[in-house]
Structure 1
Amino acid sequence: MKETSKPSLDRIDVKILRALQIDGRLSNAELAMQVNVSPATCHRRTQRLFDKGFITGVRADLAPEMVGLGTLVMVGVALDRAAPEHRLAFEEAILKMKEIIDCLLVAGEFDFLLKIRCRDMDDFNRLQGEKLIALPGVRQTRTFFVMKSVKENVRLPF
């Protein structure tokens, strides 16, 4: 039995994806020129890449310090393993918290790894005391204050 595979990308699709990863603000005309196709072809192909889920969105990368969110905190969360329903309740609660910018289900010592942006340590302390420890099923948390970001949100290497 043959496995179902992902939609394939040709060299032009790959060029479009690479160019948009570098600069998502390119106009269709600029992008078409970079990948050496007509603007109509470029628009059609780019739209197909959106429709097929290769491109999930276009946004501006903000400087956290400039918008008052200069403190980056990673939090490992262990849930109560005796109650599997806690995982879904935890995930639903996390989706409602704007301070949490990433939530990853992980294998290892913790069940989830949270990436949180806040103003400062006092802001995080308030968040921890009022919201994080009250999340459904939380048994334990471990907090890591990020001292320096060496590499973050880089382009996909394909």
Structure 2
Amino acid sequence: MLIEMKDYSMNQSLDRVDLKLLRLLQQDGRASNAELAEKTNISPATCHRRVERLFKQGTIQSVRAEINPHHIDLGTLVTVGVVLDRSTPESFAEFETAIVRLPVIIDCQLVAGEFDYFLRVRVQDMADFNQLHANQLIALPGVRQIRTFFVMKEVIHHAPLRF
């Protein structure tokens, strides 16, 4: 039995069907609208409207392919802890403006604690990271200290959000 649902405004909270759609899309972002509709027991038209609404309200941010980094010669993952010389809004803004210009940075988080930022970097190998470190990372504005952690094994990688 198919259940037809009304369109929701962008301010409306998520219901059980929305949550199921989100879980299904996390498992397989390539699932067709027909597959999603069948698995959620709604019509394809309703399913399409719901998924579009989830995109428009920003609940679904993007759908993209996850590339095996080893297949494109970026098999070394490095976590980098960065300490800035000052903890001011201006120094944070200056660092953040500069870091977004480095395409090898795949994640950057402002954190509380011993470090100011954690970076995740994908590079070819240790020599490639050494070049990046010497030529770009230590030259970033406001950097006082960098600590490098080479990832030996990814135990959990891009786990789906649990809700």
- When normalised by structure 1's length, the TM-score is 0.94
- Which ranges of structure 2 fall in alignment gaps of 5 or more residues? 1-10
Deviations 1:75-126 (A, max 9, x none): 0000112654121111011111110000000001000000000000000000
Q: Which residue of 2 aligns with 1:3?
A: none
- When normalised by structure 2's length, the TM-score is 0.91
- Measured in 2, the distance between the counterparts of 1:55 and 1:127 equals 33
- 1:152 corresponds to which of 131, 140, 157: 157
* Match status 1:108 vs 2:113: yes
- Measured in 2, the distance between the counterparts of 1:21 and 1:27 equals 13
Q: Which residue of 1 aligns with 2:148?
A: 143
1:8-157 pair list within 5 angstroms: 8-81=13-86, 83-157=88-162
- Measured in 2, the distance between the counterparts of 1:82 and 1:47 equals 41
In the comparison of the two structures, how many residue pairs are matched? 153
What root-mean-square deviation, in Å, do the aligned CA atoms of Structure 1 and Structure 2 show? 1.1
Identity %: 60
Deviations 1:114-158 (A, max 9, x none): 000000000000000000000010010000000001001110011
- Measured in 2, the distance between the counterparts of 1:153 and 1:59 equals 13
- Which ranges of structure 1 fall in alignment gaps of 5 or more residues? 1-5
